[in-house]
Structure 1
Amino acid sequence: MRKLFIALGFAFTLGFAQAQTAEVAKEKWYHVGIKQTGVYGVNTDQALQFLKEHKRKANTIIVGVLDSGVENFHEDLKANMWNNPKEIPGNGIDDDKNGYIDDVHGWSFLGTAKGINYNDDTTEITRVYKHLADKYNTFDSKKNQAAASQNPTEYAEFLRVQKEYLSEVGKAKYNQQVGQARLNAVEGGINKMVLEFGDTKLSKDILKNYQTLDSQVLEALWIFGELKEEQWVGKTMKEVANSYLGSARRAAKGDALTSHLNLNLVDRKDVDNPNDKTERFYGNNDSNGPESSHGTHVAGIIGAVRGNNIGSEGTVGGNNVKIMSVRTVPNGDERDKDVANAIRYAVDNGAKILNMSFGKTFSPDKELVWDAFKYASDKNVLIVKAAGNSNEDIDVDIHYPTNFRNGAPVSKSVLTVGASTKDPKALKARFSNYGKQSVDVFGPGQEIYATYPGVDQYRFLNGTSMASPAVAGVAALVWSHYPKLTAEDIRNILMETVNKNEQLKDISVSGGVVDSYKAVQKAEEIYKQRKLK
């Protein structure tokens, strides 16, 4: 009876997954137009047709991707990567005298001058808690009371942070135990399937017709109902096992406890002096880094090569974009100092648009980032950033970096993006943050297909991290064809030309999803009004 229950449950799950995939999974859905399809894509092709009809030629535009790194040799990105024209690769000399040696495709603020990179870092709450705990968590009630009386506001903040930090520790311990239990439950069965299936490429029919009397294998089959089809269809069982068991092993090791929440890893003195807020010239030229999956996907959404008949295509709609990779975000929370320096680096080296698909709930050095925002706006640079993925109202629960200081915007050229879906009946992605004041527009951010590390690899990913570059690419499409507009113009155009929807009316400033066709129409209108050529 138990075997029958497992088999029936497995078949039902596969059927459900198949129906869902047939309904929503399209590699190019985020490029379509609402009028033609009923789907809120960014309408790339119609925009390009409009530009062709109006004889608008594209100028090269540099987009800075401030992220985990970008695989600059990927088949669908390498032709559109930024190459520093004033730097001679590999000679160990700062040829352009910008303070960064051999910065050919960009720079990494997450490594040493000797080329040693790091990937894991703590969360910001860990760093804040460590700083405050050094003052207040003495386990001596009299000393605590004395310290609290001297600075009651800070002590109250410590208690708040301590509660949240220790809650995160508790959750990490729970997840560690779940990961170990999962590993214990399926590892034996999965390893047996690896031997049995060998180099066979998996398909739904193969698994549907698969028969075995091995109870250990039968008890492991449920993982295929949990996985998305693109995670196993067309792959060998060994590839599936490496990915699935690797994730379970990482959870069982308690990576969050050993890195993100580890108080001993707060001071990153092997890379730079985290307490020196004026330091700018550190890191190395490895703009790819040890783990560039997030940044590579983001870069592809913006600027994957168009017209090469492989992979995906960027929302910039052509090959006039150059992607500058500025490695800023580790596996953990980005540091405010790195964010500020990354913005300044990208601006100083010619980027006109910066994409920032990251965020956190604490920002002890937010002034550094605000100063960098102002620096970018003064240099006529547009910043496009993700709203975050915790389904919160960020007017209330602030998500950093924020463009608001004491309720007032710091810059007029920052655009914050929420994530939308291809389902017009449920337009806001469930995970997306929102805010009537703090989220400007929405962009496609669910099941987005784009480049992934591995030279010829591509993946579907979800997040406002995907919505932000979708919008950044549209901004680059417009600005590259209408270069005499300002960063503020581009921001306003994208906001004024959204496809509005009642579902987004009260959760964003513009109340809609960006549309590149309407945006170029508006840009053309402004050019004519201002008599620009």
Structure 2
Amino acid sequence: MVNLHKVVLSVFFIGLLSTAFAQEYKAGKANWQNLDFADDGVHGLSTEKAYRTLLKDKKGEKVIVAVIDGGVQADHEDLKDVMWVNEKEVAGNGVDDDNNGYIDDVHGWNFIGNAEGENVHFDNLEVVRLLRELQPKYISVLPSTPLNEEEKRAFDEYQKMTTDYMAKLKQARMGELNYGMLKDVVDSIVADIGESNPTASQFSAYKAKNRNESRALRIIASEMKDKSFEKFYEELEEAFEYYSNQLKYHLNMEYQSRDIVGDDYEDSSERIYGNSDVEGPDGEHGTHVAGIIGAVRSNDIGIKGVADEVLIMGVRVVPDGDERDKDVANGIRYAVDNGAKVINMSFGKAYVKDKQVVDEAVRYAMENDVLLVHAAGNDSKNNDKFTSYPNPRYVDSLGFNQGQGDAWIEVGATSWDKDNLVASFSNYGKQTVDLFAPGVDIYSSIPSSAYKEASGTSMASPVVAGLAALIRSYYPEFTALEVKDIILQSVVKIDDKVKIREDNTNKRVYLSDISVTGGIANAYEALELAEKRSQRK
């Protein structure tokens, strides 16, 4: 889902509002997601404490974690030594050596590319794809048009989708306009100053020529209190690009990219298509996620992943836009068939085309003792009230509940800042979000062997996936369900109320009001509990 990829920025209106990026957080401690509250003053995972004490003289087994995402740089300096390698496949020979149907799948598979090496970069939102299918049938329907019950339900859904689509389109147009205007004004000011990277004092000394420049200078001054101009401008460009891409691709009814793949898209049972390029044209999100899970801990470069005996399998199914159900299902099945014991899924969307094909793949993962870890979403919404996809609940063709996949963990995001503990963007839900984990200002790997901070439940989910891999590595006797239970039973409970936003209103609630466990994932507590349970086995 595109909202799991975007930079968390607030929209401003030049000429109407003078506030811009209302950043809630300042930079936290390096590696904070792995730190401990008692030792370091932040509600991290207590990973380093666990390694120093509980795991000091232990050796774990290798555990394969599949990163189903937008792409992973397999040769990244901090990931190349922990990438899963399909030993039965000969790299680059163009032959399906292991006869699994996937040619040269050395580090995983890409379900949104073709055999010639072309890849899907952008795609629509699911609501656009569904509207494109429904419009020919319902665009001319009037209140007096006779419809049967099934058609009435479909028409009602069509109307809701149309309303939602128009709201998204309006927001995207406003976002592109306003961020574009600010960028133009900032560019003009920088050109007048005559420096490519001006200092705060140079901006302060600059005399505004008009109202827009005055507002831009106030925005710059506010932002440069805790970041460089270079960082501010990078975020500005990302925000402008985000809204521009929405208009060009995500919300563009005329844009279609599936032809690149060349599959029979309507055949959800089709499984053999794609190529072996696990990074694709934009592997930033997936590479960042992979680093959080398992970047090498002992090489004194980059970052420290959560799990030290992990093998990362790259499975590319998420474009810049909404993922497709067929690809998600095939990604899960590929990961299971090739030995993954934990699957991280930092993506999601508001609409679904073929939920049952994903449900069948989730069932397949459950049958094969695989734990699925999923990001709750970045809409500041209550997931108990707003359904998002994928989810662990199985439905039939009419949408009626048919049980659920129990080896599934839904993760919300927290910050290192105890005064803003629950990330302002994080979704939550007393019945639907299991727990919270660090997801703000997480420094991790990105392509070109580089590193970057990012925030989102996309970052919180791999923290928990890494913890699951850690438990399965050092206590391989536990099933996926037992690992889930250990993680949920060992959360650190928070006594104080936290801030959330619901129905456009700020509220203070307990974590137990907005999650199943009422707590934050903790590696030290989980491994201690795992040891106790292991001794009783």
Do both share a fold (TM > 0.5)? Answer: yes
Distance across 2 between alignment mates of 1:361 and 1:350: 30
In the alignment, structure 1 residue 494 sits paired with structure 2 residue 490: no
Q: Residue in 2 aligned with 1:33?
A: 36
Query: What SS does the aligned partner of 2:112 have?
Result: coil
Distance across 1 between alignment mates of 2:452 and 2:195: 24
Query: Deviations along 1:249-281, whole A, 9 cap, x unmatched?
Result: 6368x4312211122335723312221111111
Contact 2:28 2:416 in 1 (8 A): no
Q: Give the drift of 1:246.
A: 4.3
Distance across 1 between alignment mates of 2:415 and 2:65: 25
Q: Residue in 2 aligned with 1:45?
A: 48
Cα separation, partners in 2 of 1:459 and 1:434, compared to 1, 3 Å = same
Query: What SS does the aligned partner of 1:330 have?
Result: coil
In the alignment, structure 1 residue 108 sits paired with structure 2 residue 113: no
Letter in 2 for 1:401: P
Distance across 1 between alignment mates of 2:253 and 2:407: 37
Distance across 2 between alignment mates of 1:258 and 1:45: 44
Matches within 5 A, 1:183-262: 183-192=183-192, 196-197=194-195, 206-208=199-201, 215=208, 221-222=217-218, 224-225=220-221, 227=223, 232=228, 243=234, 246-247=237-238, 250=241, 254-262=244-252
Letter in 2 for 1:160: K
Q: Residue in 1 aligned with 2:507?
A: none
Cα separation, partners in 2 of 1:46 and 1:435, compared to 1, 3 Å = same
Q: Give the drift of 1:210.
A: 6.5
Q: Give the drift of 1:392.
A: 1.2
Cα separation, partners in 2 of 1:249 and 1:148, compared to 1, 3 Å = same
Q: Give the drift of 1:490.
A: 0.5
Distance across 2 between alignment mates of 1:120 and 1:497: 40
Distance across 2 between alignment mates of 1:226 and 1:308: 38
Cα separation, partners in 2 of 1:179 and 1:427, compared to 1, 3 Å = closer
Count the aligned residue pairs: 497
Q: Residue in 2 aligned with 1:182?
A: 182
Cα separation, partners in 2 of 1:134 and 1:229, compared to 1, 3 Å = farther
Unmatched segments (≥5 aa) in structure 2: 1-17, 395-399, 496-509
Query: What SS does the aligned partner of 1:127 have?
Result: helix
Q: Residue in 2 aligned with 1:292?
A: 283
Query: Deviations along 1:36-74, whole A, 9 cap, x unmatched?
Result: 234211111221234445x43111111100011011121
Query: What SS does the aligned partner of 2:420 have?
Result: coil
Matches within 5 A, 1:68-147: 68-138=70-140, 141=142, 145-147=145-147
In the alignment, structure 1 residue 388 sits paired with structure 2 residue 390: no
Contact 2:122 2:257 in 1 (8 A): no
Between stretches 64-73 and 403-412, larger displacement belongs to 403-412
Distance across 2 between alignment mates of 1:76 and 1:505: 37
Distance across 2 between alignment mates of 1:382 and 1:471: 11
Distance across 1 between alignment mates of 2:281 and 2:41: 41
Between stretches 184-193 and 347-356, larger displacement belongs to 184-193
- State the Cα RMSD in Å: 2.8
Distance across 1 between alignment mates of 2:20 and 2:350: 36
Cα separation, partners in 2 of 1:267 and 1:305, compared to 1, 3 Å = closer
Query: What SS does the aligned partner of 1:311 have?
Result: coil
Find 2:292's aligned residue among 298, 301, 310.
Answer: 301
Instruction: Determine which structure has the larger helix proportion and give its number.
Output: 1
Cα separation, partners in 2 of 1:324 and 1:40, compared to 1, 3 Å = same
Distance across 1 between alignment mates of 2:100 and 2:474: 29
Q: Residue in 1 aligned with 2:408?
A: 414
Cα separation, partners in 2 of 1:311 and 1:150, compared to 1, 3 Å = closer
Query: What SS does the aligned partner of 1:165 have?
Result: helix
Distance across 1 between alignment mates of 2:528 and 2:38: 16
Contact 1:188 1:216 in 2 (8 A): no
In the alignment, structure 1 residue 365 sits paired with structure 2 residue 340: no
Cα separation, partners in 2 of 1:246 and 1:35, compared to 1, 3 Å = closer
Q: Give the drift of 1:176.
A: 2.9
Q: Residue in 2 aligned with 1:6?
A: none
Q: Give the drift of 1:130.
A: 1.5
In the alignment, structure 1 residue 157 sits paired with structure 2 residue 147: no
Query: Deviations along 1:61-92, whole A, 9 cap, x unmatched?
Result: 11100011011121111111111111111100
TM-score, normalised via structure 2 length: 0.86
Find 1:453's aligned residue among 447, 452, 456.
Answer: 447
Distance across 2 between alignment mates of 1:402 and 1:348: 21
Distance across 1 between alignment mates of 2:224 and 2:491: 31
Distance across 1 between alignment mates of 2:184 and 2:150: 52
Contact 2:119 2:260 in 1 (8 A): no
Q: Which protein has the larger Cα radius of gyration, Structure 1 or Structure 2?
A: 1
Query: What SS does the aligned partner of 1:494 have?
Result: helix
Query: Deviations along 1:443-498, whole A, 9 cap, x unmatched?
Result: 1011111112221x211111110000011111111110111111111100000000
Contact 1:70 1:296 in 2 (8 A): yes
Unmatched segments (≥5 aa) in structure 1: 1-9
Query: What SS does the aligned partner of 1:418 have?
Result: strand
Query: Deviations along 1:78-125, whole A, 9 cap, x unmatched?
Result: 111111111111100011111111111111111111100111000011
Distance across 2 between alignment mates of 1:150 and 1:340: 27
**Percent of aligned positions with the same letter in both sequences?**
40
In the alignment, structure 1 residue 270 sits paired with structure 2 residue 273: no
Cα separation, partners in 2 of 1:133 and 1:504, compared to 1, 3 Å = same
Between stretches 224-233 and 258-267, larger displacement belongs to 224-233
Q: Residue in 1 aligned with 2:68?
A: 66
Contact 2:120 2:260 in 1 (8 A): no
Q: Give the drift of 1:308.
A: 1.7
Query: What SS does the aligned partner of 1:93 have?
Result: coil
Letter in 1 for 2:34: H
In the alignment, structure 1 residue 519 sits paired with structure 2 residue 526: yes
Distance across 2 between alignment mates of 1:447 and 1:481: 29
In the alignment, structure 1 residue 504 sits paired with structure 2 residue 494: no
Q: Residue in 2 aligned with 1:529?
A: 536
Q: Give the drift of 1:357.
A: 0.3
In the alignment, structure 1 residue 398 sits paired with structure 2 residue 391: no
Distance across 2 between alignment mates of 1:197 and 1:209: 9
Q: Give the drift of 1:229.
A: 7.9
Between stretches 475-484 and 159-168, larger displacement belongs to 159-168
TM-score, normalised via structure 1 length: 0.86
Query: Deviations along 1:359-386, whole A, 9 cap, x unmatched?
Result: 1111121111111111011111111010
Distance across 2 between alignment mates of 1:335 and 1:301: 25
Distance across 2 between alignment mates of 1:299 and 1:366: 26
Query: Deviations along 1:187-231, whole A, 9 cap, x unmatched?
Result: 2223455xx336x7x7xxx43366755646975555544657897
Distance across 1 between alignment mates of 2:202 and 2:258: 53
Cα separation, partners in 2 of 1:156 and 1:379, compared to 1, 3 Å = same
Q: Give the drift of 1:287.
A: 0.3
Contact 2:200 2:221 in 1 (8 A): no
Contact 2:65 2:343 in 1 (8 A): yes
Contact 1:13 1:225 in 2 (8 A): no
Q: Residue in 1 aligned with 2:273?
A: 282
Letter in 1 for 2:514: I
